[in-house]
Chain A
Amino acid sequence: MGTAQLLLELGAVLFGLGLVGRLASRAGLSPVPLYLLAGLAFGTGGLLPLAAPDGFFEVGSEIGVVLLLLMLGLEYSADELFGQLRRQAPVGVVDVVLNGAPGAVVALVLGWGPLGALAMAGVTAVSSSGIVAKVLTDLGRLGNRETPVVLGVLVLEDLAMAVYLPLLTALLAASGAGPMLVSVAVAASVLVLVLVVARRHGHLLSRLLASDSSETLLLLVLGLALLVAGAAEGVHVSAAVGAFLLGIAISGEVATSARPLLEPLRDLFAAVFFVFFGLTTDPRVLPQALAPVAVLVVAGVATKMATGWLAARRAGIGPGGRIRAGAALVPRGEFSIVIAGLVGSAVDPLFAPTVAAYVLVMAVLGPLAPRVTDPLAHRAAVRARRAAAG
């Protein structure tokens, strides 16, 4: 294949994504579902199959996952994570159990086995922190009293991901009970080791990376992220988790100045990741996934609403805020796809298309949920106030 063709197709895809992204932001939507659609359209069995950029998209999508998780880790410090865990642990357990259950049940009914159930539970459990944060910002809700609860749930989910992803990777890689146990043990001990070291000696890492030139900082952080991700992948802890843990370990000023540098890169490669996922998913299978997806969507909205209600009530928030907290948590997105990307076709050929369709619906429905439930929340708040006054 010639360079000309590669550049042309790559350029066409990126330019097309840009146009699609502009449409999405005009309509107040997250671009993630549209990237997926674009991938589906250009992939095998799609409307307009592309021949060339598979190689680039494959590598690019790996980098995309690393950057997505690295940026997520950079947002938090180890202290913040442990603090949330101490205060909110019961909420995290309720969230994971309540929201993981529908995925697990549907997977078992479809005959995907225990591993498929574990993977699908992860897909339905984890909200999209990217979409949630954007919706809260766009609606001017960062100041709301239920917002710390919503953000707290997201933090706990991210922390749960740090445990969940290596376990899932280890289980997927191993065959037989013995090797499975060994790889799970390796994954768990690496995880604990990194978290403890990050908490005690994170500042040393930050000192190593600190530099005056933004160019140097970018290269150092990105290079180290890829090194750590590669090493993590090597011991079956999953590249994504390696990057996430590195992000947590980097703190203070280095984290603050690295974030704006990495953001455009993350946006580019995350888009590539979503498109690649779409490319490798055959849209002709989608109709078969419709029934389970419909069940998962209804259950997914209901369980997140319940989680938000319970978490906010625990924090002493009124009924209006409880409804808003639940609605804010509805969107699923990048992490569901990260999980599906890890699983690939290891569980069932229908797994990836199901997740793709699920995320397509939830990422579109999610940002609408707060607007739809707002009148309800207002009525609940007014009623509660009257009850308190009378």
Chain B
Amino acid sequence: MEVEETRLPGVGLRHDLSTRAGRRVGVVSQVNGDRELVIFDDDDPDLVRTSVRLTSEEGAALADLLGAPRVVERLARLREQVQGLTTAGVVLPEGSPFATGTLGETEIRTRTGASVVAVVRDGEVTPSPTPDFRFAAGDKVVVVGTDDGVAAVRRRLGG
């Protein structure tokens, strides 16, 4: 996959790529910070069929949605590459002592040496949750650490 960069003099930059299925998508970044998501036409490879104007906030949200699962994916790959490092998704059960607590209260990093890298709730990913992140029962907590560390997290969360 190759991302092509094109200068738009006086306007900004366009980045675009072809998907494996043959569709072409791109992003126009204007100098003033506006972003436009563009999808190219099937009949005419030079024509944008749909363009969606995004504020910088909306663009960031969309990038999170598209990019966050890749964080988890990359971790899975990382685990295969680094011996002794384990990732696991620990589901927070109803009766867990932390079912309504915050990430900070679990003291996972201090007590187990493992790190929480993401939380998945109803299919939505929160990458790198902050210590004040509040859990809910059913959350899948993605942790990285040694085998022992991950097992300790499992016990601590009651999973």
Contact = CB atoms under 8 A, between A and B. Distances in A.
Nearest to B16: A143
Interface in A359-390: 377-378, 381-382, 385
A44 interface: no
A381 B10 contact: no
A146 B45 CA distance: 10
Interface in B46-66: 46-48, 50-51
A256 B33 CA distance: 11
B7 A321 contact: no
A140 B51 CA distance: 6
A148 B28 CA distance: 12
Interface stretch (A28-36, A119-127, A151-159, A297-305): A151-159
Nearest to A381: B44
B9 A146 contact: no
A141 B7 CA distance: 15
A142 B45 contact: no
Contacts of B50: 140
A318 B36 CA distance: 23
Q: Is the interface of B mostly helix, strand, loop or mixed?
A: strand
Nearest to B12: A142
B43 A133 contact: no
Contact of B10 (A146, A154, A317, A377): A154
B47 A142 contact: no
Nearest to B52: A140
Interface of A: 75-76, 80, 84, 129, 133, 140-148, 151-152, 154-155, 256, 259-260, 317-318, 320-321, 324, 377-378, 381-382, 385
B10 A155 contact: yes
A381 B46 contact: yes
B8 A256 contact: no
A142 B7 contact: no
A143 B10 contact: no
A75 B9 CA distance: 8
Given A80-B7, A154-B10, A385-B44, 15 more contacts: A76-B9, A76-B10, A129-B10, A142-B38, A142-B48, A143-B51, A144-B48, A145-B45, A145-B47, A146-B46, A151-B10, A151-B11, A154-B9, A321-B46, A381-B47
Interface of B: 6-11, 14, 16, 26, 28, 30-32, 36, 38, 40-41, 43-48, 50-51
Nearest to B50: A140
A145 B123 CA distance: 36
B36 A140 contact: yes
Interface hub of B6, B8, B16, B26 (most chain A Cβ within 10 A)? B8
Q: Is the interface of A mostly helix, strand, loop or mixed?
A: helix
Nearest to B42: A385
A260 B36 CA distance: 20
Contacts of B32: 259-260
A210 to B, nearest CB: 18
Contacts of A133: 10-11
Contacts of A378: 43-44
Contacts of A147: 8, 14
Contacts of A155: 9-10
A342 B6 CA distance: 37
21 contacts: A80-B10, A133-B10, A142-B11, A142-B28, A142-B48, A143-B26, A143-B38, A143-B51, A145-B40, A145-B47, A147-B8, A152-B9, A260-B32, A320-B46, A320-B47, A321-B44, A324-B47, A377-B47, A381-B41, A382-B43, A382-B44
Given A80-B9, A148-B6, A148-B8, A143 B44 contact: no
B11 A143 contact: no
B31 A256 contact: yes
Nearest to B49: A140
B136 to A, nearest CB: 40
Contacts of A317: 46
B112 to A, nearest CB: 46
Contacts of B11: 133, 142, 151
A382 B42 CA distance: 10
A381 B43 CA distance: 7
A385 B10 contact: no
A341 B41 CA distance: 43
A358 B54 CA distance: 37
Contacts of A260: 32
B43 A144 contact: no
Nearest to A386: B43
Contacts of B46: 144-146, 317-318, 320-321, 324, 381
